[in-house]
Structure 1
Amino acid sequence: MKLYNNLETAQPWPPANVETTLDKPLAVAYLDNPPPVVNITLGRQLFVDDFLIESSTLTREFHQPKLLPQPVFEPQTPLEMNDGFCTCACPFNDGLFYDDHDNKFKMWYHAGWFDGIGYAESDDGIHWKRLHEIYPDRQDERVLPAVKGRLRDGSALWLDYAASDPDERYKMMVFFRQFDQEIKYYHRKPKHAHDNPDSVAPDEKILLYKSPDGINWTEVGEAGKSGDNTTFFYNPFTKKWVFSLRTFSALDSRIRTRGYFETPEFFTGSNWKAQDIKFWSRTDIFDFPDPQLGYYTQIYNLDATPYESLMLGMFSVFMGPPNNICELTKMPKINDLKIAFSRDGFHWHRPVHSNFISSSREKGAFDYGYAHSPNGICLVVGDEIYFYVSFFSGQSPNFGSHKYSGGNLGLAKMRRDGFCSLSAKQQDGFVLTKALEYEGDYLFVNCDAAAGELSAELIDDNGNPWPGYERQSCIPVQVDATKMQIRWKAHNTIRQAPNLRIRFWLNNARLYAFWIADDENGRSRGYMAAGGPGFKDGRDI
């Protein structure tokens, strides 16, 4: 099958991966055998790998977002305060999206540890109103009623802009444990079998729900068997629903891995069997242990979202300590978030293994540990990307501290397209793209050339600039802007030519992305992850 960018997928699909080692980096086959001509019609083009590059003298740098010093959402209500035991008001995956039908930021979150699924919305993504504040007839923040003996764990939600049935516009899965007795608080539930071999395990299941508004939900059915921290996302490039399943290594059953299952139909196609799950991902030797903790790192979760022209992956990496140690210290385990990218939706390119967003490990801090990204991962807000991150401080009014208390929501921001840049400092440098297929007439860049300049030239099949599109004919860009049109002295539009290549010249400048648009508004046609203000159905169209 040929993908949107001209990649040919392996057959059969998804690939039948086989584990051969516990720590060798996993191969990304499409980078070793890219297509000779890349289709860039869809979305802004990022230089996170060499997929688009024929040659370059520039330096590639990866960047991290900056975390705000205070949380933007924290436990306040009786449900969230959990009677002073394990306070929690943050997505435990759950979801955070921008709905451009009513222009609201919408969040589903873990309200009171192992208790409810709460809902809140916002006009600006900073100040939030809870469900009972929006609808005074509601008794609390819950969108699902409490069921006797049923405790929620991980949940995942998606805003399906393309849903043909309006009643299925919001889709959700929830991992429940059903006990045979009423259990009000996490610390009073019976021990799991792995803690007490004589215990009777609860009934564990993943239930699926649909909703027209994200508030009123209807149970639809049950998914296949998997563990907690199982999530899902939609890949619009392949038009498949993908379940990211908690699995364990076939080489060492103590080590967490991620399993992959895809289906074109969310509700009718999600009753997978064990043999349907493909080995997908894990940590590797470059996911170094924390120098203070010293534990073998493991993958805790893998979420993904469509960003512009590729899939953005967020690896939640477990740094330790294990649960029994956290029980003794009464402090949360440490998870850090690391970034990855995919152009086929299955194989993940991890160009850097450093933390994208880190837990602070500072006792008393809101971001002490247990970092989670909500479903949707990020939103595009003006010239910035918003990364919401759930952290646990460990602070508990009744316990003093607890490994599952103090759940709150932080916000980290970075430049739009700011994952990676190509730069030349105080000297000329260039990057030459591969041959390109495209639609549109207007060339745009995201660049910082305020202290230098950036220019572009269009290259023919023989490696020569097209007349009128040479570097010396280009009007240099000398600004810092996330959207800037490239023009030439005699041309505002690009030349229409098959297998066109573009050479960007930089001097004391950074280039983050380029794209070709239909008009001078510069809309990229790309996907906006979990959405954002000013977009339509989650796309820049």
Structure 2
Amino acid sequence: MNIFFTVLLFISLNAFSERLYNGIQLPSDWPPEQLDAASTDPMPVPYLECPPEIIPIDVGRQLFVDDFLIEQTSLVRTFHYPKKYHGNPVLKPKNSLEWTEGSGRGVAAPLSGAVLWDEEEQVFKLWYNAGWHGTICYATSKDGIEWARPKLDIVPDTNQVYPADLRPDSTTVVRDWWTENSAGKYKLFVREPGGLGGKGGRCFESPDGIHFGNSVLTGNMGDRSTIFYNPFRKKWVFSIRSAFRGRSRHYWESEDLMADNQWELDEENYRQGRWSPGQPVVWAGADALDLPDADIGLKPQLYNLDAVAYESIMLGFFQIWRGPNNNDCHGVPKVTELNFAYSRDGFHWDRPDRTTAIEASRTAGVWDRGYIQSVGGICTVRGDQLWFYYSGMEGDESIPKGMYANGATGIAVLRRDGFASMKTPDDKGSLITRPVLFSGKHLFVNADVPEGTLKVEMLDVDGNSIPPFVLENSHVFTGDSTVYEMTWDDGADLSVLAGKPVRFRFVLERGDLYSFWVSCDRTGRSDGYVAAGGPGFKDPKDTVGAASLVAEQKIR
């Protein structure tokens, strides 16, 4: 068996160009150029059709958002959705910068901007659009709910951080943990107003997230383009608005945000999804499983795609547009809403559930009536919860272009790792993983089993139990925890199995299993990524485990 796996590994390494942290082999032709711009079929996901023979799991909590890790199961995958915070909105327009002069269109909302945690300063930091096509402002918060607008020196006595002579449409701020340049600790991307083509983006860097300089231009792109960083591959990704299937996305990756991000743009080819070889490639759009709004009836389009590294995956928000067309809004905000998407290679997106994660209220007089948009960084990790900041607009039917009026910022909350759980369909079920490889010692789970039980045993690749980690020796977990260590009778840890292909068999009665991981110590650290961060996290990875729960309680 070991010789077989060695041969497979040798063949794979010679046939493919890059092996990822999870065992996925990328083809030498990357990013892929084969996607059909005209097809409305869901995006193919090659690593789900042909997963690795052995899956390394040292990076991050292992989520059950797809079947990548699952060999067989009698459990049922159940999807879960964030709940909107009862005190929304937490930021709304109130000063002269946030009210576009002469238009009545107030905005205090990121498009996409960012919300990030700073462990050193013990604050949340927010970059947001102030006014419609006005400027970029900065706010801070101790608890993520009450926000202060500090007076800065860019434009005296304001919290503006963007040069006074420039205007933003779409923005993204990223904390660059990977640079050795102290002047580039924060990166800012801005696409200025101006429709589909004819303009590039601007990339800036900053030592403090306030003073941005060293502006460089990119190739041309549409007006709701954004960026994100993929730390699994050490690549900056441009999520480029294009038009091959209505609003849609092209993809460009780069090792350096501040250099060599130039491409040509032919208007006709751009609209058809045909860019030249070596240029941005066709990436993502709405598909046949994205349903129209029942009252509007238009074919959905992909308005934006933001993403971030969360634990062992890239977590995406697809902003789905359902209309109406701009000229038909008459002061009512467009219906755009957010859907979760998941990627294990950073390019192909699996969207197994099309239930809207954060929906527009569609109700007159409500702050998030429409135009729901994601925020850079996607979510913060708040103890045993994930907080998703999002933008919404109430609109104003009494003024010109009132569909862009009364923009504010709110929060939706989900259990940590809570995108999907494996649930017992009746009273009892089990799940066996594919062969996995780890170097840690301690098995942890995120599970909700208040009235049931969870047990686990270790199997070899042929499905035989491995003593002493047999089911009869497994200590039973009953309760609800996002970080719980599973143990066996004799107290042995999993170090004796480190570096060997094995399987986990989970046996569950009346409950939900959200994730599992093997930690290097008893803190429960996952060494996976923590999105926009959160209390207790000193860097972009979870190196503290359960200590983050304590840190969260201190700021509540």
Counterpart CA distance in 1 for 2:441 and 2:345 is: 27
C-alpha displacement of 1:20 = 5.7
Counterpart CA distance in 2 for 1:118 and 1:136 is: 10
Q: Which residue is 1:82 aligned to?
A: 100
Give the secondary structure class of the aligned counterpart of 1:207.
strand
Alpha carbons 1:17, 1:280 under 8 Å: kept: no
**Which residue type is aligned with residue 256 of structure 2?**
E
Q: Which residue is 2:510 aligned to?
A: 508
Alpha carbons 1:100, 1:538 under 8 Å: kept: no
Alpha carbons 1:54, 1:432 under 8 Å: kept: yes
Aligned pair in 2 of structure 1 residues 209, 135: CA closer, same or farther (>3 Å)? closer
User: How far does the alpha carbon of each residue in 1:218-243 deviate from its partner, in whole angstroms, 9 at most, with x for none?
Assistant: 13211111111110000000000000
Alpha carbons 1:177, 1:205 under 8 Å: kept: no
Alpha carbons 2:432, 2:505 under 8 Å: kept: yes
**Which residue type is aligned with residue 65 of structure 1?**
P
**Which residue type is aligned with residue 139 of structure 2?**
A
Matched, 1:392 2:410: no
Counterpart CA distance in 1 for 2:541 and 2:143 is: 19
Q: Which residue is 1:131 aligned to?
A: 150
Q: Which residue is 1:168 aligned to?
A: 184
**Which residue type is aligned with residue 293 of structure 1?**
I
Aligned counterpart for 2:297 among listed residues 294, 316, 339: 294
C-alpha displacement of 1:6 = 0.7
Q: Which residue is 2:542 aligned to?
A: 540
Aligned pair in 2 of structure 1 residues 461, 177: CA closer, same or farther (>3 Å)? closer
Aligned counterpart for 2:259 among listed residues 268, 271, 276: 268
Counterpart CA distance in 2 for 1:400 and 1:104 is: 38
C-alpha displacement of 1:99 = 2.0
Q: Which residue is 1:439 aligned to?
A: 439
Q: Which residue is 1:107 aligned to?
A: 126
Q: Which residue is 1:181 aligned to?
A: none
**Which residue type is aligned with residue 122 of structure 2?**
N
Alpha carbons 1:45, 1:514 under 8 Å: kept: yes
Alpha carbons 1:378, 1:388 under 8 Å: kept: yes
1:230-379 pair list within 5 angstroms:
230-249=225-244, 255-274=246-265, 275=276, 276-326=279-329, 329-379=330-380
Q: Which residue is 1:209 aligned to?
A: 204
Alpha carbons 1:151, 1:176 under 8 Å: kept: yes
Aligned counterpart for 2:70 among listed residues 50, 53, 68: 53
Alpha carbons 1:336, 1:355 under 8 Å: kept: yes
C-alpha displacement of 1:491 = 2.1
Q: Which residue is 1:183 aligned to?
A: none
Greater Cα shift, 514-523 or 66-75: 66-75
Counterpart CA distance in 2 for 1:17 and 1:157 is: 31
Counterpart CA distance in 2 for 1:86 and 1:379 is: 29
Give the secondary structure class of the aligned counterpart of 1:324.
helix
Counterpart CA distance in 1 for 2:338 and 2:106 is: 23
Counterpart CA distance in 2 for 1:222 and 1:243 is: 13
Counterpart CA distance in 2 for 1:332 and 1:494 is: 54
Counterpart CA distance in 2 for 1:260 and 1:324 is: 29
Counterpart CA distance in 1 for 2:462 and 2:201 is: 57
Normalising by structure 1, what TM-score?
0.91
Counterpart CA distance in 2 for 1:29 and 1:387 is: 29
Counterpart CA distance in 2 for 1:299 and 1:136 is: 35
Counterpart CA distance in 2 for 1:501 and 1:257 is: 40
Alpha carbons 1:385, 1:416 under 8 Å: kept: yes
Counterpart CA distance in 2 for 1:446 and 1:138 is: 48
Aligned pair in 2 of structure 1 residues 137, 341: CA closer, same or farther (>3 Å)? closer
Aligned counterpart for 2:115 among listed residues 75, 89, 96: 96
User: How far does the alpha carbon of each residue in 1:344-364 deviate from its partner, in whole angstroms, 9 at most, with x for none?
Assistant: 000001111111110110011
C-alpha displacement of 1:138 = 3.4
Greater Cα shift, 218-227 or 230-239: 218-227
Matched, 1:152 2:187: no
Give the secondary structure class of the aligned counterpart of 1:216.
coil
Structure 1 segments, 4+ long, off by >6 Å, are 134-137
Counterpart CA distance in 1 for 2:400 and 2:224 is: 27
Counterpart CA distance in 2 for 1:177 and 1:36 is: 48
Counterpart CA distance in 1 for 2:64 and 2:200 is: 41
User: How far does the alpha carbon of each residue in 1:31-52 deviate from its partner, in whole angstroms, 9 at most, with x for none?
Assistant: 1111010000000000111110
C-alpha displacement of 1:109 = 0.4
Q: Which residue is 1:120 aligned to?
A: 139
Q: Which residue is 1:187 aligned to?
A: none
Greater Cα shift, 362-371 or 262-271: 262-271
Give the secondary structure class of the aligned counterpart of 2:424.
strand
Give the secondary structure class of the aligned counterpart of 2:403.
coil
Alpha carbons 1:486, 1:492 under 8 Å: kept: no
1:217-228 pair list within 5 angstroms:
217-228=212-223
User: How far does the alpha carbon of each residue in 1:456-495 deviate from its partner, in whole angstroms, 9 at most, with x for none?
Assistant: 0011233121122111111100010000000111125125
C-alpha displacement of 1:401 = 8.3
C-alpha displacement of 1:145 = 2.7
**Which residue type is aligned with residue 470 of structure 1?**
V
Counterpart CA distance in 1 for 2:440 and 2:487 is: 14
Greater Cα shift, 278-287 or 424-433: 424-433
Q: Which residue is 1:140 aligned to?
A: 158
Counterpart CA distance in 2 for 1:137 and 1:79 is: 11
Counterpart CA distance in 1 for 2:405 and 2:39 is: 32
Q: Which residue is 1:383 aligned to?
A: 384
Alpha carbons 2:35, 2:283 under 8 Å: kept: no
Counterpart CA distance in 2 for 1:332 and 1:137 is: 31
Alpha carbons 2:154, 2:162 under 8 Å: kept: no
1:4-83 pair list within 5 angstroms:
4-19=21-36, 21-69=38-86, 70-83=88-101
Aligned pair in 2 of structure 1 residues 66, 492: CA closer, same or farther (>3 Å)? farther
Greater Cα shift, 486-495 or 437-446: 486-495
Alpha carbons 2:460, 2:503 under 8 Å: kept: yes
Number of residue pairs the alignment of both structures matches: 510
Aligned pair in 2 of structure 1 residues 338, 12: CA closer, same or farther (>3 Å)? same
Normalising by structure 2, what TM-score?
0.89
| CA RMSD after TM alignment | 1.9
Give the secondary structure class of the aligned counterpart of 1:313.
strand
Alpha carbons 1:311, 1:342 under 8 Å: kept: yes
Counterpart CA distance in 1 for 2:199 and 2:264 is: 16
**Which residue type is aligned with residue 98 of structure 2?**
E
Alpha carbons 1:89, 1:109 under 8 Å: kept: yes
